[in-house]
Amino acid sequence: MTALIKWDFENHQYYPILLPENYSTTHNFGSVIKCINCGDSFNYDNSFTSLQYHTPDMGLGYPVCQKCHAIELKQKLLYPYPDEDY
Ligand SMILES: [Zn+2]
């Protein structure tokens, strides 16, 4: 099973994790995909690039649903880097 990395907003570091079983995704508009975080199915056209789940090689974000994206944004704002300017 392929590994990916998950950003820990509070500790500001990545952790390796495994892809969920039977997870697959596509980058084709109009396709139904699963959210990497919650597993809900939704249309790729409505996906957001995850701020937390990334490929280990290039750091590309996996697609997440709107609900999980909102949670990620809240976490990011809750635990900013000391020098981050919003
Ligand atoms: Zn989700």
pLDDT at residue 81 in the model: 80
The Cα 41–Cα 33 span in angstroms is 5
Distance from Cα 35 to the centre of ligand 1, integer Å = 5
Distance from the alpha carbon of residue 42 to the mean position of ligand 1, in angstroms = 9
pTM of the model: 0.86
- Taking only the tens place, the pLDDT of each residue in 32-78 is 999 999 999 999 999 999 999 999 999 999 999 999 999 999 999 99
Distance (Å) from CA 68 to ligand 1 centroid = 4
- Select from 66, 53, 70, 49 the least CA-distant residue to 19: 53
Ligand 1 geometric centre to CA of 52 (Å): 12
Burial label, 51 (beta-carbon count in 10 A; 0-12, 13-18, 19+): middle
